[in-house]
Amino acid sequence: MSMSAIIRRFVSRVAGPLVVCPAIGLHQRIAARRDAVKRREFTLVGRLSVIVFEPRGMKAPKVDHDVINGNMLDWEDRGPWLGLSMDQQDLLITGPVPHPPELRDTRAYPPTLAPQRYRDRSQQSFGDFVVVQPVHQILYKPKGEATFKLIRVSTGFDGSQMAFLVDPELQEGHFIGGHFQF
């Protein structure tokens, strides 16, 4: 039996039309997010403040210095702007991702400032992007409000965990994979 005959037989048993969607690669996802931001096809949500990573899922790099809060990035209310795509499926970073500010290290007296480096959180990379994963929670300040809100992150329908990709040189960032809930 030929392949076309097998497909026709299978399609005849299906109640509705058979739709075949090609797999979308990571490059295409990033390009689609860039395009949506460029065309302003999103609803502005608020300003990113903190990303918390699941510590059990991370492979922290070996560093020769202490890392304060190694399972989180904290922009102290000065992070990038977040947007929600028009189809409400993607959480978009709509502007440049500033480098996180230095944090006060109160373990010593007098307290000193310790830098937050992306490479201290992960050794994984994708091209020029540093990949920090899995994202567990996102804290943001909604546009026009004085309080903070939490975005809960879970495993996506395709079994993926959310990752935060950031290019420190170009100040570009993306949330890829997973499922989020406001």
User: Higher-confidence residue: 156 or 70?
Assistant: 156
Q: Which of 143, 141, 152 is nearest to 181 (CA)?
A: 152
* Predicted confidence (pLDDT) per residue in 61-106, tens digit: 677 667 777 789 999 888 999 999 999 999 999 999 999 999 888 8
**Does pTM surpass 0.85?**
no
Where do the structural domains in the chain lie, given as residue ranges? 44-181
Top-confidence residue, 123 or 132? 132
Mean predicted confidence (pLDDT) in 129-155: 93
pLDDT of residue 15: 46
pLDDT of residue 17: 45
* Confidence at residue 3, expressed as pLDDT on a 0 to 100 scale: 58
Strand partners, 180: 153
Quick: pLDDT tens for 1-27: 665 555 555 544 444 444 444 557 889
Nearest to 82 by CA among 132, 127, 44, 31: 44
CA distance 166 to 120: 13
Q: Give the model confidence (pLDDT) of 25-62 as tens digits.
A: 889 999 999 999 999 999 999 999 999 998 666 666 67
| DSSP conformational letter for 65 | S
